[in-house]
Structure 1
Amino acid sequence: MRPTEHYVMTIEGLQALIDALQRRGRRVIGPTLRDKVIAYDDIAAVDDLPAGFTDDQDAGRYHLRRRDDGALFGYAVGPHSWKSFLHPPKLRLWRAERYGDQVKVEPAETAAQELAFIGVRACELHAIAIQDRVMLGGEYVDPHYRARREGAFLVAVNCGKAGGSCFCASMGTGPEVDGDFDLALTELISDDGHSFVIEAGSQAGREILEELPNRPASAAEVDGARAVVQRTAANMGREMPAVDLHQLLSRNLQHPRWNEVAERCLSCANCTMACPTCFCTSVDEVSDLKGVESARERRWDSCFTMDFSYIHGGSVRSSVAARYRQWMTHKLSTWFDQFGSSGCVGCGRCITWCPVGIDITEEAHAIHDSEQI
């Protein structure tokens, strides 16, 4: 763990944290049990968290089961990411209504409250940082993303469990949290009780920490928190090949593997919908049947849809092979050219939520291994 001041608080301290964020008028969002998955939603108390539940994940498989303890964060990641709150799946850009000869135009929807996220994993912190570069880092800033992102309070959690689809360790994005967070927790459960080692990563985090019931962490507790992260890193379900993926994929654009994976791929876009960094959107014009109301709406789209790459006369990527190649090479290769980093954080969602269990790490290994023959 980073050389910083560490403190210890109990579950009561976690509730005090939620209360402190709510007193500041923030919308507090965290992991909850819903529809047989662990999903992010509004929370008001520790009781809303998925105590005693974990998830078993593999390619095309997700299953909740009971743990033998009361861990609040004893799972990997669910199907939803924080992107859903910072870059909503559907957003009204403007709405217009006609009154006789007059037209009233209402501007875009705005974020109603400042946000607070509880339970942000290391891979998700990196995903948010990637979206920041995409949405805020260039000449053209997305004002809707900025309105939600500015002032968002991030309570990160060091992972105590690696999922079967996780490969963050090989991407350098976890399981220990780093980067832009306000507070970071490591959950400790032992015969001595249930506690959290906590550290502040910002001035806003330090101010709230001062309000919480806590005490300085002992050396044994800091070592225990460090051991949690080390154990998780040693139990990753998968890994990417330790090579320059940017160059590997750039020189294999005509590899036969693209056609092989296309025979399985449904082009359903599940991977891009579950991905915490994909950002493609389309804009629709909608109106009522009377022609009185109309609106322009932005919605998530995907490079897996035929219409997304449509140019007059047809789709640029008409085959499934071309669309899968576009997604994977953009994520792992040409993202570097655009934004200076990989577009993948190793969360494994694209593997778990693929209906046919296509594994991006397996595809990368297959292309790499073919060059070793």
Structure 2
Amino acid sequence: MVHNDIHATPAAGHRLIVGRDGLDALIAALRGEGYAVIGPRVRDGAIAYEPVDSTADLPIGVIDEQNGGHYRLNTGPEETLFGYTVGPHSWKRALYPPRQSLWTAARDAEKGFTIEKPDGTPPRQAFLGVRPCELRALGIHDRVFGVQPHDAGHGAQQFTDQGYAARRAEAFVVAVNCGRAGGTCFCTSMGGGPQAEGGYDLAVTEINRNGWHDFLVEAGSEHGRAILDTLPGRRAEVYDVQAAQAVTDAARGQMGRAMVPDVADLLAKNLEHPRWAEVAKRCLSCANCTMVCPTCFCSTMEDVTDLTGERTERVRRWDSCFTLDFSYIHGGSIRQSTASRYRQWITHKLSTWHEQFGTSGCVGCGRCITWCPVGIDITEEARAIHDSTRGTAGGTPEGTNEGRA
């Protein structure tokens, strides 16, 4: 992928101003190349990522309202196509499906049994509407699943998840820069922001100005550039680029949350903090936060046999560190309390992930806050520990003997 700097002088063929017809032409071009175009649609009162045939399928005039344990769709500017932030779906559903068949075995009169693997041909998918935080999540999964090598000092992957790698290689990514931030967004405090910095084939910024409704489309790869050259529109001028920059600058100043600084070190020093017991009083261990998270990747294996006993299947499906059985070994589960399971999740996400993959496991999308039934806020929990340890040695809460010899 090619890193694009929006501050650079626009080059012919690299940036284009298009109308809604230009986005329709983009969808048609991708479908013409054999891609199934997946994009945002309104379903069951939420934004879901599903197949789209044209811009008429997009959430036109829809914005979202998000807070801890709260999500609503409201009416926004009539023509806006990307006025929402993020919904409960993430792109990992397409690249790392919730349920994957690994192999099936069946009785055979001659051979005793036969083993079949599912068709390994990956689908050609084009993702329309990938937010900058989601692009970062895709990059994190590339490291987790061994597609993108990283510093050997941070646990370089020795193996590649072949299914993920095949699907990822066939994916075409159309990013959408954010024009507004949601009430639970905190991407800027996680090192990201509302503007895509790379990892896309095309990036779109929706611009509403002086009665005009335009889209700045820029290429981030050779494939993206080839498709961009086929779209109806005009070359982007400096004032177009400046208008697009103003859109993302406005979103950058609207963050609904912020993560405390140096959170990885903070949590590593406070594994016995009393806050874990406090949050456990509210946590339902429902695993909603891990299911909506764009980077969580825990899974389990299941063998399923049909009623006749003639056929069995091995399936990999999503799991969560919040389930009691996830840490089960012979003799019982290691993490039996809700406090220990919540601590495992947040410390892995924000702290020990760095040791494994050289990056945080959180991109600041805020989904875990919005979709928690009781509104537990990951930034609030980290801040509570931070505030209680301010001015103390070794990260030990004031007024306690936790962690002291």
Q: 2:8 aligns with which of 3, 12, 34?
A: 3
1:99 aligns with 108
When the two structures are superposed, what TM-score results if normalisation uses the length of structure 1? 0.97
Is the CA contact 2:16–2:228 (under 8 Å) kept in the aligned structure 1? Answer: no
SS state of the match for residue 185, structure 1?
strand
Alignment of 1:2-151 (within 5 A): 2-3=7-8, 5=10, 6-102=15-111, 103-136=113-146, 137=149, 138-151=157-170
Q: Which runs of 4+ in 1 moved over 4 A?
A: none
Point out where structure 1 has 5 or more consecutive residues left out of the alignment.
Answer: none
Deviations 1:324-366 (Å, cap 9, x if unpaired)? 0000000000000000000000000000000000000001111
1:176 aligns with 195
Is the CA contact 2:122–2:166 (under 8 Å) kept in the aligned structure 1? Answer: no
Deviations 1:187-244 (Å, cap 9, x if unpaired)? 0123332110111011011010111112111222211110110100000110111x21
1:24 Cα shift?
Answer: 0.6
Change (3 A) 1:78 1:109: farther
1:101 Cα shift?
Answer: 4.5
Deviations 1:257-285 (Å, cap 9, x if unpaired)? 00000000000100000000001100000
1:315 aligns with 333
How far apart in 2 are the matches of 1:254 and 1:221?
A: 53
Is the CA contact 1:165–1:347 (under 8 Å) kept in the aligned structure 2? Answer: yes
Q: Percent identity?
A: 56
Change (3 A) 1:227 1:311: same
Deviations 1:79-116 (Å, cap 9, x if unpaired)? 00000000000000001222335423220343552111
CA RMSD, aligned part only? 1.2
1:174 Cα shift?
Answer: 1.6
What is the number of residues matched between the two proteins?
372
2:397 aligns with none
Change (3 A) 1:109 1:173: farther
Point out where structure 2 has 5 or more consecutive residues left out of the alignment.
Answer: 1-5, 150-156, 392-405
How far apart in 1 are the matches of 2:187 and 2:316?
A: 31
Q: 1:221 aligns with which of 215, 240, 244?
A: 240
How far apart in 1 are the matches of 2:37 and 2:209?
A: 28
How far apart in 1 are the matches of 2:121 and 2:302?
A: 21
How far apart in 1 are the matches of 2:341 and 2:121?
A: 34
Is the CA contact 2:9–2:238 (under 8 Å) kept in the aligned structure 1? Answer: no
2:186 aligns with 167
How far apart in 2 are the matches of 1:51 and 1:230?
A: 23
How far apart in 1 are the matches of 2:32 and 2:298?
A: 35
How far apart in 2 are the matches of 1:101 and 1:348?
A: 56
Deviations 1:235-256 (Å, cap 9, x if unpaired)? 0110111x21111110000000
How far apart in 2 are the matches of 1:192 and 1:258?
A: 51
Deviations 1:303-327 (Å, cap 9, x if unpaired)? 0011111111111111100000000
Is the CA contact 1:119–1:155 (under 8 Å) kept in the aligned structure 2? Answer: yes
1:303 aligns with 321
2:256 aligns with 237
How far apart in 1 are the matches of 2:176 and 2:131?
A: 5
How far apart in 2 are the matches of 1:306 and 1:194?
A: 51
How far apart in 2 are the matches of 1:338 and 1:126?
A: 17
How far apart in 2 are the matches of 1:60 and 1:145?
A: 31
1:154 aligns with 173
Q: 2:347 aligns with which of 326, 329, 339?
A: 329
Is the CA contact 1:91–1:109 (under 8 Å) kept in the aligned structure 2? Answer: no
Is the CA contact 1:92–1:109 (under 8 Å) kept in the aligned structure 2? Answer: no
